[in-house]
Amino acid sequence: MEEKYINLLKEKCTKENFEKLMALDNSYLHKFIEKYIEHCNPSSIFVRTDHPDDAQYARDKAIENGEEMKLAIKGHTNHFDSYYDQGRDKESTKYLLSPGVELGKNINSIDKETGLSEIYGYLKNSMEGKEAYICFFCLGPVNSIFSIPGVQITDSSYVVHSEGILYRSGYQEFKRIANSDKFFKIVHSAGELEGNVCKNTDKRKIYIDLDNFTVYSANTQYAGNTVGFKKLSLRLAIHKAAAEGWLAEHMLILGVNGPSNRTTYFTGAFPSACGKTSTAMLEGESIAGDDLAYLRKKDGKIYAANVECGIFGIIKDVNPKDDPLIWKVLNSPGDVIFSNVLIAKDNQPYWLCDGRNIPDKGINFSGNWFKGKKDNENNEILHAHPNARYTVSLYSLENCDPKLDDPDGFEIKGIIYGGRDSDTLVPVQQSFDWVHGVITMGAALESETTAATLGKVGVRTFNPMSNLDFVAIPIGQYIQSHLDFASDIKNPPSIFAVNYFQKDKEGNFMTGMNDKHVWIKWMELRVNGDVEAIETPTGYIPKYEDLKILFKEVLNKEYEKNDYEEQFRLRIPENIKKLERIEDIYRTKVDNTPNILFQVLNEQKQRLIKVAKEITTCCT
């Protein structure tokens, strides 16, 4: 190790923190730390190991420096982001690509040399006068086939606090990998602060270097842009997984209880506002993950592990009736971070649609707030932001799966894809096989927009595997990776499609909010061979008799035959239009689409046409 580096660390570290770094004998790690400590130029360094005292130090610092404020309940804090820093910045999040490298037409990128010059400019001396935190975490359970160690350098104690809730500590994991370069690297600076929030959000940049597995983030505090091990590292993991033959997915992991005390595990991918969290939190089942999953093969089976051990969830609509388990955590002592909610004079947090009376005034992401307050563009400022969040540990939930940290992960029996669809898909169906499911349910995933998001209802957005925003390889290659993944598995997981948003001709939802529990329970029985199914041109659907029993057992609700017949009616014209939409996208907007995709879509289309002809012949 160069003497210059040692002197730099000794200058900025206490003896204890210096010894923490020296205990990690990894030349790749030390070169990374040396480069960015020298470049960002903090006044001091704190090294977060796996020790609980280090986690407490970050929590205390977040209060001390004003990034968080204490709330009424012990252990609860609140963080505010800038008024203009309230969500993931897709436009400013770009891949750094070398000349000749292409990821596809719809993937945001910048020339690598240009991007590095730009981000280095923003990071230069960005930590001057501030403390830098060097943090070690592990993505996935430690000491397992899923483990990916990661190091982050940041000047935000809020980011360190958040990551301490969301991820498993990884200092010992770095000791385990010795002098390996197989780890993720994150560099973040909030930049210049004004009132403890980012001043220069117009210069916000989030750049991703896939070659060096490094994420850069500057002039932002919002966790989706700064907690580098979340969606930013998902992009790194997708790139890594494609090269190594596994999958990194935007998926929940759910344990479903079945007969004879068995538990069957499913993963599931849902675009925003399509029921992902409510599925992960089904009453009476166990949550093993709400957002990110790694899938690997072992002994001829597929296993999944939660990348995280916490939840960074949207708090809007969380209320005691619909979300009793989360509500209990949010109202009990413990390590909880609220962000961008309203803090009233009672030092309690309030958020949108929480079922409580809204205080007349308080403090929120806009500063001092009062009812009727408007911004500079004359738009009313709500008491809490629609994207306000809560950060909690999964271990604090009563329904947390006891195998969350199992290094072997969870054996997966089923994979679920769900979108928002008013008029085409049935509530639940099973694919014929792995290839059929990957193509017609995963690669063909769509979701309708809502008035609450874009102001126009019913616009179908294409979102293969609910992962389009994070795909770090060409989409055609991404689809092929899924097809190849289970090609050598004798009995791969069954693939299902669900649709919780069917509507009748009058625009009313045809299924209840809790009916999803029945569809999930049917899947559990189906993958274990306990129930038969009806073959249709698009997949297998449940028998009425089985659903009738489940509705009574699960929801204590009668299920009428006419409801079943309408919900599971094959909508031939709508299904054909969907197939044509998807085919057009893959032919015109996706490079190197596997030919089998078009073959499988056409086979399904021909099955639908055949049934339509049979119906016409029968009726005439």
Those residues with Cβ within 8 angstroms of residue 436's Cβ, 6 or more apart along the chain or in another chain: 495, 539, 600, 604
Mean pLDDT across the chain: 94
Q: Tens digit of pLDDT for each residue in 148-163?
A: 999 999 999 999 999 9
**337: nearest Cα among 564, 159, 526:** 159
Q: Tens digit of pLDDT for each residue in 441-492?
A: 999 999 987 644 434 656 899 999 999 999 999 999 999 999 999 999 999 9
Reduced to 3 states, what is the DSSP secondary structure of residue 587?
Answer: helix
Number of H helices, E strands in the chain: 19, 33
Q: What residue type is assigned to position 395 of the chain?
A: Y
The token pair that represents 298 in the structure block? 């072992």
352: Cα separation from own chain's centroid:
21
- Whether residue 312 contacts residue 166, with contact meaning beta carbons closer than 8 Å, is answered with yes
Q: What is the pLDDT of residue 617?
A: 78
Residue 377: is it exposed, middle or buried by C-beta count within 10 angstroms (0-12/13-18/19+)? Answer: exposed
Exposure of 384 in the CB half-sphere (CA atoms within 13 A): 29
pLDDT mean for each 10 residues of the chain (620 residues): 86 95 95 96 97 97 96 97 90 91 83 96 97 98 97 98 98 96 97 91 95 96 94 96 97 97 97 90 96 97 98 94 94 98 95 94 95 91 95 97 97 97 95 98 90 57 93 94 96 97 92 95 98 98 98 97 96 96 95 96 97 80
Q: What is the pLDDT of residue 619?
A: 66
- Whether residue 95 contacts residue 211, with contact meaning beta carbons closer than 8 Å, is answered with no
Distances (CA, A) of 485 to 76, 112, 242, 466: 42, 30, 10, 18
Q: What is the pLDDT of residue 454?
A: 36
Q: What is the pTM of this model?
A: 0.95
**321: nearest Cα among 281, 345, 355:** 355
Q: What is the pLDDT of residue 100?
A: 84
Helix pair angle (3-12, 27-40), 10° resolution: 60
Q: Which residues pair with 335 in a beta bridge?
A: none
The token pair that represents 77 in the structure block? 């804090």
What ranges in 41-156 are assigned the alpha helix state H?
A: 52-64, 112-123
CA distance 39 to 104: 33
Q: What is the pLDDT of residue 551?
A: 97
CA distance 170 to 148: 9
CA distance 75 to 296: 37
Q: What is the pLDDT of residue 450?
A: 60
Q: Tens digit of pLDDT for each residue in 98-135?
A: 988 888 877 889 999 999 999 999 999 999 999 999 99
**256: nearest Cα among 435, 494, 55:** 494
The token pair that represents 495 in the structure block? 């693939």
Distance between start and end Cα atoms, the chain: 86
**309: nearest Cα among 438, 202, 170:** 170
Helix pair angle (27-40, 112-123), 10° resolution: 60
- Known catalytic residues are 274
Residue 301 gets the label, from left (phi > 0), alpha (psi -120 to 50) or beta, of beta
Q: What is the pLDDT of residue 452?
A: 40
Q: Tens digit of pLDDT for each residue in 70-88?
A: 999 999 999 999 999 998 8
**Domains contained in the chain, CATH given:** 3-67+93-245 (3.40.449.10), 248-308+403-619 (3.90.228.20), 312-396 (2.170.8.10)
CA distance 445 to 19: 50
